Structure 1
Amino acid sequence: MPVDTIYKTRATASGGGRDGHVRSEDGNLDLNLVVPKEMGGPGGDGANPEKLFAAGYSACFLGAMRAVSSKVGVKVPNDATVTAEIGFGPRSEGGYGITADLTISLPGLDRADAQKLVDTAHQVCPYSNATRNNLDVGLTIV
């Protein structure tokens, strides 16, 4: 399914991949990468692809809720938050996979309005669309 692209950006990984460096073309993102201890690495200061995915998905989903709020007639509270938890591990089919769970806080909204907002955002969020039918995304409203 084609996408009518309105924005593109680039980032380059160098070094050892998961234990290297990543930098966006404009330099606004410039991070050392480190393999977590849980994955056999040294751990310590640095990012990893799962942290970057969690940051991107949480920001994108919050933006999607704001984008659809007028359509569903539900205002997103100013103190709304989305926390993405991304897991990594081996797949039974071979190789590795990820898990994704979003925890959404919408203070002051009743449950029905919050659910309507989250469900609609999940249909338009680019990260949700990219992961759909590839992994189950948990959506928890707190």
Structure 2
Amino acid sequence: MSVLYTAKASVQGEGRKGRGSTDDGRLDVELSVPKGMGGDDGPGTNPEQLFAVGYAACFHGALKNVARQNKVDASDSTVSSAVSLSKGDDGFGLSVELTVTIPGQDQAAAQKLVDAAHQMCPYSKATRGNIDVTVTALAG
């Protein structure tokens, strides 16, 4: 594979409570610990929220590509993601739930598009076999 793009970012502070930014200055965010993890729910975002947005955006791009290839209008489609951080006997882990809505498609057609996008999406490929990812298609 040839590299098309490399994102570069750094975090300063206390990891989950600090500041994160990209080298090009396009993203500069305050990080905070959610209340459910012992934080104060202060201003800022957290790694799980950033991952949720990134995965949803990447999956949506894959879905649009698959829809175009199949000559399906997915212009009003939506991808929602939920990223959960859990703790077990072996430490911390992530799980993801993606819910994809494709208006104008019946359930079987929507599921076919979503399944194809899940095979194509780089985030799906990276997480496959590593964390639990559930993808649900909703017809519209």
Scaled to the shorter chain, the TM-score interval is: over 0.9
Across the aligned residues of Structure 1 and Structure 2, the Cα RMSD in angstroms comes to 1.2
CA contact (8 A) 2:11 2:21 kept: yes
Q: Distance in 2 between matches of 1:136 and 1:75?
A: 29
Q: Is 1:28 aligned to residue 29 of structure 2?
A: no
Pair 1:83 & 2:80 matched: yes
Structure 2 residue matching 1:121: 3-state secondary structure? helix
8 Å CA contact retained: 1:102, 1:138: yes
- Superposed displacement of residue 110, structure 1: 1.2
Q: Which aligned pairs between 1:70-109 and structure 2 lie closer than 5 A?
A: 70-76=68-74, 78-92=75-89, 94-109=90-105
Q: What secondary structure does 2:72 align onto?
A: coil
Q: What TM-score results when the alignment is normalised by the length of structure 2?
A: 0.93
Q: CA deviation at 1:135?
A: 1.3
Is there any run of 5+ residues in structure 2 with no aligned partner, and where?
Answer: none
Flag as ranges the 4+ runs of structure 1 deviating above 2 A: 70-75
Q: Could you say which residue in structure 2 is the equivalent of 1:65? A: 63
Q: How many pairs does the alignment contain?
A: 138
Q: Provide structure 1 residue ranges, at least 5 long, that are not aligned to the other structure.
A: none
CA distance in 2, matches of 1:123, 1:75: 20
2:53 alignment counterpart: 55
Q: Distance in 1 between matches of 2:49 and 2:68?
A: 31
